[in-house]
Chains A and B, each alone.
Chain A
Amino acid sequence: MLQGLFLILVSTVLVNNFVLSRFLGICPFIGVSERIETALSMGWATTLVMTVSAVVTWGLEQYVLIPFDLGFLQYVVYILVIATMVQTIETILAKTSPALHRTLGIFLPLITTNCAVLGLAILVAQKGYNVLEAAVFATGGGLGFTLALVLLAGIRERLEWADIPEAFKGKPIVLITAGLLSMAFLGFTGLVAQ
């Protein structure tokens, strides 16, 4: 049991990293990776939303969508759930932990449109996880997302000092760097068989 959960965690953080292997959540990956600090904030916010929304969507899938044979509504329902979760978390955080709320700032509402969150919820349904596995899978996905963001942010901070050819300045060099990072993560393939 524990071993299975650990395997899921390692698998989602490293082997099947949401950003670098499944290519989900590329928009924030490029958009919010200029500074390590902001990348971390975005990462934590996403991890939080992923975990909560994965558990809620799991419940909806198991107790509403499947029994009533409404699987075709999956996407719409999930998007509704995610948007509501983000708004709820933001409201609660603003009251209970203003410091954290200030750190996450604008990134929290932005997560509503992060495809990694929706992708994760759908993957949970496809893989037929139980609720505990779904939560671990979501946490791992969030941590993997954070890892990818921080790695790229670290490289981008260093790139600012590099003598980049004119044509590659700005986004092009970031995309190339992201590609190299993704190739580096290919090295984890086969670490976990799934």
Chain B
Amino acid sequence: MGLVQEILAATLLMGGLAVFFGIVLAIVERKFKIQTDPRIDEVEELLPGINCGACGQTGCRGVAEGIVAGVLEVNACPVGGQATADQIGALLGRSAQVGPTKKAVIRCQPDLKEPPSYTGIDTCLGYQTLIGGTLGCAYGCVGLGDCQAVCPVGAIYRDEQGLMQVAEALCTGCGLCVKACPRSVIVLREPTETWQLLCRNPEKGKQVLAVCNSGCIACGLCVKACTHGALKMADNLPVVDYQLCNECGDCVAKCPKKCLVLKGIMLFEQAQDAS
């Protein structure tokens, strides 16, 4: 076979195969065509696209499918909030009010008498798995920053004292930190739930006092200070009835350990301190 024939045969074979496969692909594509709603793509475009899973769906694509199918409301994305809901609503001609987003609150600001001498795996989960509650307080923040690492929007930071804090303006309420915390120190609070106790230790005052300077010692002064009957003691910690609490701040002023706060509300004394 001469060179020309060889080139010709190769060209014919490759060209033929390419055309043949092209036709096969075209037929398969036509035969197995899936009708997808183009609105799904448009809705997906409007969503944040961080696939955090806070909505409980399999990612932003799943939410978009659910919204277009009418299974989910247009406000299904808790991270996107009202702005996203409005855009999607305008696109689909539906509307839904979205409540203000929840905020994460770290219910412990430890001031331990003796910081645990721990040199193991540098994560809260590692700490909890390896030594559990054998050092210091068994209930409070370990402070190794699993929540900070998992936060998709960088709302959790470490302050000058080395305590973990939530920047509420940035927090989208996705709840990933709640899942990440091995000691369940973090919860999501509704915007109306301003009263927060920054201590999780349910032991008696003496035991708490032995390990931590800022833990609740179950003195009950807050309960006495409350003139609305919103507080009561349970398991050596005060619990609140948000229906009765009117955010007066009397309990916060009385707390000797400064572990009571009204989140998002600056009290008179604090405002003075700040200025």
Contacts and interface: CB of A to CB of B under 8 A. Distances in A.
A77 B17 contact: yes
A31 to B, nearest CB: 20
A64 B1 contact: no
Interface string B6-29: 000110011001100100110011
A63 interface: no
B131 interface: no
Given A73-B13, A80-B18, A161 B32 contact: no
A84 B34 contact: no
Residue of B18, B25, B28, B29 ringed by the most chain A CB atoms within 10 A: B28
A100 B121 CA distance: 38
Interface string A57-97: 00000001000111011001100110010011001101110
A88 B14 contact: no
A70 B34 contact: no
Given A70-B10, A84-B25, A92 B32 contact: yes
Contact of A91 (B14, B18, B32): B32
A166 interface: no
B1 A88 contact: no
A64 B13 contact: yes
B32 A96 contact: yes
> Looking at chain B's contact residues, is the secondary structure mostly helix, strand, loop, or mixed?
helix
Interface residues of A, number: 20
Most buried by A among B13, B14, B18, B126: B13
A70 B8 CA distance: 11
A77 B13 contact: yes
Given A84-B21, A84-B25, A88-B25, A73 B14 contact: yes
A68 B13 contact: yes
B180 to A, nearest CB: 15
A28 to B, nearest CB: 22
Contacts of B28: 88, 91-92
Contact of B1 (A69, A80, A81): A69
A161 to B, nearest CB: 7
Nearest to A76: B14
Interface in B20-49: 21, 24-25, 28-29, 32-34
A88 B25 CA distance: 6
Contacts of A91: 25, 28-29, 32
Contacts of A73: 10, 13-14
A44 B10 CA distance: 34
Contact of A70 (B13, B21, B33, B126): B13
Contacts of A163: 121
B24 A88 contact: yes
Contacts of B126: 161
Nearest to A96: B32
A77 to B, nearest CB: 6
A193 B17 CA distance: 38
B121 A77 contact: no
Given A91-B28, A94-B34, A80 B10 contact: no
A161 B121 CA distance: 8
Contacts of B25: 84, 87-88, 91
B32 A94 contact: yes
A41 to B, nearest CB: 14
- In the complex, which of the residues A76, A80, A87, A91 has the most CB atoms of chain B within 10 Å of its own CB atom? A91
Interface of B: 1, 9-10, 13-14, 17-18, 21, 24-25, 28-29, 32-34, 121, 126
5 contacts: A76-B14, A80-B14, A81-B17, A84-B25, A91-B25
9 nearest A-B residue pairs (beta carbon) = A95-B32, A84-B21, A91-B32, A91-B28, A88-B28, A92-B32, A95-B34, A91-B29, A73-B10
